[in-house]
Amino acid sequence: MQRRLSPFSSMMNVVAMVVILVFGGYMWARRAESAPLDVGVAAPPGGAPPMVGPKGFPSVKASGVASVAASTSGAAASASGAASASGGDDAGVAAAASADAGPPMPVDLAIAPDGGVPFHPPVNGVPPTFRSPFAKPDATPPVRINVALTLNSVDDYDIKTGKFAADFYLSLTSVEPMPDLDLQVANGAIDKKSVVADRPTFKLYRITGQFKSPADLRKYPFDAQELKIVLEDDRRGTDTVRLVVDKERTTLGRGFRAVGWQVSFVQARALGIVHGSRFEGDDLYYGRYVFSLGLERFATSAIFKVFVPAFVIVLIALLGMWVPPEEMEVRSNAGAPMLAGAVLFHFSLMQELPATSYMTRADKLMLGVYISLLLGMISTWWMFTVKEQHVRRVFHVARTLVPVLTVVVMGLACVA
């Protein structure tokens, strides 16, 4: 009778086989790690042949020594290579740094024997033109740089804050090689600056940024605004660099857009500014380039947006002058809704504009509206105060006088 194995015995046999396989694989892996990779390989030229142990395997002791020697020599070679590479990199970095540094700045040549603000001593008995340490100690002529700006677009102009986004090309051209320039925006910030060309006598950039020009709203809604892009170099004065406007290439790009506005003029100026208060002897002038774009509001839009609603309010209020005295309740209620409408309309206009210390033309127009409505309300109040037999007479006088005064007041409000 054949004896069958119990489940427990079968499981133990499987576990034993697994343990044997795992242990055998572990021992084979250990032996493979201890054996060198050059077994049976000929010795390198000039080198000693590998030492062979029993059964043709390399001697563990010899291979260990060889491995240590190889590791040591490799480490030494690596250290030597790293050191030489580091030395080469340091030399290259130093050379690049010295090359990028260029000639020293004028302030580095100034002296301060007694401390305080450095200064340049006289050259051959002739004192320098400027006392500022940032000025050149010699009297060599400055480099003339022609500056041109092509404006591609103006977007997101907010009349309340005066901020707008601009995209433009800026080109710098000179006969002599230009010194290093650091043009900064005096009335905004640059978001992106792309270098299109960078040659010693020609540089071209495409710049996008946010700029700010305070609005002049005295003539609102027929106002004209001047948007400025102001560039200046605070590192080098006019004794080193002289900015010159390239009028022929100061223009608008093809497809220029300024939504809601029409262009009135394009111009640019090159100025010399002096700070004068940063330190003692701060008398050096710095170049500044100012690009100006004149924008005007569309007259038709301004008329229908501001003047037409104001005159409609006044005309509706004047209709109350023809309400007969027998309908005093209707007449007295004619002015109040128009006054409320005028206040709300004026409030909506104020929400679009910043707070100003002066009255805009729209404010003067609304002041004329308030005075016209007040004239109508005074005529109604006058009819309430007189005796009944004089009401008809007051009615005829008010119907003639109030419209005339209203025309005069509104005319003055429009031309003021």
One digit per residue, the tens of pLDDT, for the chain of length 416 reads: 333 444 444 444 444 454 444 444 544 444 444 444 343 343 343 333 444 343 333 433 333 333 333 333 443 334 344 334 444 444 444 444 444 556 777 878 777 788 888 878 887 777 787 878 787 777 678 999 999 999 999 999 999 999 999 999 999 999 999 988 888 899 999 999 999 999 999 999 999 999 999 999 999 999 999 999 999 988 888 888 999 999 999 999 988 988 889 999 999 999 887 776 787 877 788 889 999 999 999 988 889 999 999 999 999 988 888 888 888 777 777 778 888 999 999 999 988 899 889 999 999 999 999 999 999 888 888 888 888 888 888 888 888 999 999 999 999 999 87
Residue linked to tokens 């080109």: 171
For residues 26 and 17, give the distance between their C-alpha atoms in angstroms, rounded to a whole number: 14
Residue 339 lies inside a defined structural domain of this protein: yes
> Which of 251, 272, 297 lies at the terminal end of a domain, its last residue?
297
What pTM was computed for the model? 0.66
Residue 335 lies inside a defined structural domain of this protein: yes
Amino acid (one-letter) located at 188 = G
Residue 338 lies inside a defined structural domain of this protein: yes
Output b/e per residue, 118-127; b: 16+ Cβ within 10 A. bbbeeeeeee
Residue 130 lies inside a defined structural domain of this protein: no
Residue 401 lies inside a defined structural domain of this protein: yes
Q: For residue 294, with 0-12 CB atoms within 10 Å meaning exposed, 13-18 middle and 19 or more buried, which class applies?
A: middle
Measured between alpha carbons, how far is residue 356 from residues 157, 160, 212, 306, 413 in Å? 18, 10, 17, 18, 19
Instruction: Indicate which CATH number applies to the domain containing 165.
Output: 2.70.170.10
How many structural domains is the chain composed of?
A: 2
For residues 229 and 391, give the distance between their C-alpha atoms in angstroms, rounded to a whole number: 65
Domain boundaries, position 355: 301-415
> Which of 297, 325, 347 lies at the terminal end of a domain, its last residue?
297
> Which of 238, 265, 297 lies at the terminal end of a domain, its last residue?
297
Instruction: Indicate which CATH number applies to the domain containing 339.
Output: 1.20.58.390
Residues 181 and 311 in one domain: no
Residue linked to tokens 């590998």: 50
Q: For residue 11, with 0-12 CB atoms within 10 Å meaning exposed, 13-18 middle and 19 or more buried, which class applies?
A: exposed
Residues 343 and 245 in one domain: no
Residues 249 and 221 in one domain: yes
Residue 289 lies inside a defined structural domain of this protein: yes
Residue 403 lies inside a defined structural domain of this protein: yes
